């Protein structure tokens, strides 16, 4: 089968890890007889430098016409000037909105081989298998008004938290459906004791629960959820949260897996789906060849499964990552004392060979 994939590496370690995700796809192509046509584009800081904007019309069209998008990361100190008219992250936000990928699914898996690499005690990690559904195209990151204005009292910064009932309902349904196919428990996260949008969120979740009698719904305030993720993570099955809360909670949940470099994500689950590791650009290690590519490789596996319908091939990628970790290979972020760190390219080669 033939597939068209848009590859948007972005900034920092984004291109480095995305190259290994591509390598895994190419290994799948050789092993299973598929052809992946790869089209590359600039986004984020590199796009600002080359084109004067974080997202060009050409890249919008490239992403729209692809079967799926494999994304790296955007941003970095070079573009952190708060007075800049545009930032790399604007390109990512615009692309998500353009593709209408409103539900970001972030699985959190603990590999038994890596429990010693986590800062948490091994018994806390027993049985951890959760999915976080993050609303991706609304809330503080998108709503207007937004900006800074000069007032007699000084500069005032404004961000707006806004959600419609329909925006909340559609992402909650993703959470309910996922929970229905897993262990049957959904945790809806909000801040209903303070925020009006969260009160609407909670009311909508409660209303929808009547349609899913086979799913146990619990409500959790975001601060309580953040604490329980590190105290009792195995108690969670599926978590659903608005944009900002989901962003923070999944970064926190990365410590369960031992590193953000291991966690993939998908948004869209259709054509074109949007696939990216949850980590950022890590400018402190960019260009050194030591970044963990597993998040990108596993994002490619999610792409194969959800957007391209290649479930057997996706399972082969998942098994390959598992095999390489079982063999003791560790990138610097998950290496423990005495481990020899494996580089980005070598890790990608090992996984590709295991697929073959």
Does 82 score more than 90 pLDDT? no
Q: CATH no. for residue 219?
A: 3.40.718.10
Catalytic-residue membership of 141? yes
Rounded to whole angstroms, the Cα distance separating 111 from 128 reads: 9
* pTM of structure: 0.94
111-135 pLDDT, tens digit each: 999 998 999 999 999 999 999 999 9
Contacting residues for 315 by C-beta, under 8 A, at least 6 apart: 305
Of the residues 90, 129, 159, 251, only one is catalytic, namely 251
Helix (H, G, I), strand (E, B) or coil at 355: helix
The answer to whether residues 149 and 134 belong to one domain is yes
How many C-beta neighbours within 10 Å does residue 32 have? 14
Q: Examine the residue annotation and report whether 236 is marked as an active-site residue of this protein.
A: no
Assess if residue 94 is contained within a domain: yes
Q: Please state at what angle helix 294-306 crosses helix 344-355, rounded to 10 degrees.
A: 40
User: Among residues 221, 242, 257, which one ends one of the domains?
Assistant: 257
Kindly indicate the confidence band of residue 338, based on its pLDDT and cuts at 50, 70 and 90: confident
Point out the catalytic residue in the list 42, 67, 237, 247: 247
Q: In which element (H, E) is residue 171 found?
A: helix 165-180
Residues 162 and 212 in one domain: yes
Instruction: Please write the tens of the pLDDT for every residue from 239-274.
Output: 999 999 999 999 999 999 999 999 999 998 666 899
Closest among 200, 263, 198 to 224, alpha carbons compared: 198
The predicted pLDDT at position 269 comes to 61
> Is there a single domain that holds both residue 227 and residue 272?
no
Residues 168, 241: one domain? yes
Which residue out of 111, 141, 212, 236 is catalytically annotated? 141
User: Which domain does 283 fall in, by range?
Assistant: 1-102+260-356
How many CB atoms sit inside 10 A of residue 311's CB? 11
Quickly count: other Cβ atoms within 10 Å of residue 167's Cβ.
Answer: 21
Q: Of the residues 224, 257, 290, which one is the last residue of a structural domain?
A: 257
The enclosing H or E element of 97 equals helix 88-99
- pLDDT tens for 21-56 read 999 999 999 999 999 999 999 999 999 999 999 999
Q: Are residues 137 and 55 in the same domain?
A: no
Q: Confirm whether 212 is a catalytic residue.
A: no
Pair 205, 218: CB distance under 8 Å:
no
Q: Is the pLDDT of residue 66 over 90?
A: yes
């Amino acid at each position: 089968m033939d597939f068209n994939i848009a590859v948007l590496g972005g900034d920092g370690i984004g291109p480095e890890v995305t190259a290994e995700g591509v390598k895994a796809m190419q290994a799948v192509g050789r092993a299973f007889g598929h052809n992946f046509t790869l089209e590359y584009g600039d986004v984020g800081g590199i796009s600002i430098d080359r084109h004067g904007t974080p997202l060009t019309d050409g890249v919008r069209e490239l992403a729209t016409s692809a079967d799926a998008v494999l994304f790296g990361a955007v941003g970095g100190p070079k573009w952190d000037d708060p007075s800049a008219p545009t930032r790399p992250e604007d390109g990512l936000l615009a692309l998500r909105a353009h593709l209408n990928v409103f539900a970001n699914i972030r699985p959190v898996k603990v590999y038994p081989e890596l429990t010693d690499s986590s800062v948490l005690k091994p018994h806390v990690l027993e049985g951890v298998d959760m999915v976080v559904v993050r609303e991706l195209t609304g809330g503080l990151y998108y709503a207007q008004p937004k900006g800074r204005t000069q007032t007699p009292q000084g500069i005032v910064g404004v961000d707006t938290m806004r959600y419609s009932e329909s925006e909340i309902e559609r992402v909650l349904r993703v959470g309910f459906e996922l929970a229905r196919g897993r262990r049957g428990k959904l945790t809806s996260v909000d801040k209903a004791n303070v925020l009006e949008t969260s009160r609407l969120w909670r009311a909508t979740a409660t209303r929808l629960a009547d349609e899913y009698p086979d799913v146990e719904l619990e409500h959790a305030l975001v601060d309580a959820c953040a604490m329980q993720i590190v105290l009792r993570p195995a108690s969670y099955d599926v978590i659903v949260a608005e944009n900002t809360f989901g962003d923070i909670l999944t970064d926190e949940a990365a410590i369960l897996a031992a590193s953000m470099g291991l966690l993939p994500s998908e948004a869209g689950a259709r054509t074109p789906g949007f696939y990216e590791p949850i980590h950022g650009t890590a400018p402190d290690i960019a260009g050194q060849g030591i970044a963990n590519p597993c998040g990108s490789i596993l994002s490619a596996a999610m792409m194969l499964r959800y957007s391209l319908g290649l479930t057997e091939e996706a399972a082969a990628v998942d098994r390959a990552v598992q095999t390489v970790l079982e063999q003791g290979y560790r990138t610097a972020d998950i290496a423990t004392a005495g481990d020899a760190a494996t580089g980005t390219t070598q890790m990608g080669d090992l996984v590709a060979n295991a697929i073959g």
